[in-house]
Structure 1
């Protein structure tokens, strides 16, 4: 099942504190899914403590992207945009009111239940405390999207990323 009810408190609870680490040692995931590429290789989507790691296992190269609060150890603050040879990431952080936040959480939960290329994890304490990843092949590479939802007071913060990797 691509959606997991996680029995651990989220380690990352502030979208503004997220960092980006590329090609760092992959941390242990709370939930993961392997997606084979129709050409070659595999993509592994992983939920961390309210954050994510994506690993590309390709015959020619191995690549990883981690977005988490602990990614600062091996990387930097999460940028709005990052470009590197064969890779690009865009991120956006939005503060949502309660209605919009609840609707977003419901849509993402439904996506995980119906899209076999998605992975989601819900953390205890709030049905909208979610991390969701979705990926698809993109030519010889991959494209993936992630959503990190951090409930707070009346609504919450949503961090959205979209990434593209090519060998």
Structure 2
């Protein structure tokens, strides 16, 4: 894949506003990557408000939305850990100095050319990114996301890791 330079302002500008919403209809995406296997598909979608993932396997479907809209739509504030049946989720939030932040953004943009990766770049700051990667995992799927929030002299990186094996 590649970096998708998005022509819209991000509506997700504050890491503390992120939430997690499961099994709701997927909102429209700005960019997406579909990974298919004989047993299912994983759709990684970049939103103006962060990301949505739809996983399909063996006739089952799971939708994960991590966004600033998730709480208002019935989700919960972003947890550090969430386990619901065969679904596992973890998140970390880290504030780093701007040099480290920009280095992380460059590294993640570089990974966007790899199979199973997608990157959405937002206008206003070349380090304002939403990046996702995914792969099949047994009979299910595993995926990660990085949400980069640039600031004055620092930046906030929210990383999530999810696994679903129905």
TM-score range, shorter chain: over 0.9
Q: Which residue of 1 aligns with 2:90?
A: 90
Q: Unpaired segments of 5 or more residues in structure 1?
A: none
Rounded to whole Å, the distance in 1 between the matches of 2:60 and 2:49 is: 27
Q: Which residue of 2 aligns with 1:36?
A: 36
Rounded to whole Å, the distance in 2 between the matches of 1:43 and 1:85 is: 19
Q: Which runs of 4+ in 1 moved over 4 A?
A: none
3-state SS of paired residue (1:160)? strand
Q: Which residue of 1 aligns with 2:76?
A: 76
Question: Deviation string for 1:88-108 (max 9, x for gaps)?
Answer: 000000001011101000000
Return the TM-score normalized by structure 1: 0.96
Return the TM-score normalized by structure 2: 0.96
- Higher helix fraction: Structure 1 or Structure 2? 1
Contact 2:49 2:68 in 1 (8 A): no
Contact 2:91 2:158 in 1 (8 A): yes
3-state SS of paired residue (1:161)? strand
Contact 1:12 1:49 in 2 (8 A): yes
Deviation at 1:50, TM superposition (A): 4.6
**Cα gap change, 1:128 to 1:50, in 2 (>3 Å):** farther
Rounded to whole Å, the distance in 1 between the matches of 2:161 and 2:110 is: 19
RMSD: 1.0
Q: Unpaired segments of 5 or more residues in structure 2?
A: none
* 1:62 counterpart = 2:45: no
- Aligned residue pairs total 165
Q: Which residue of 1 aligns with 2:20?
A: 20
* 1:110 counterpart = 2:140: no
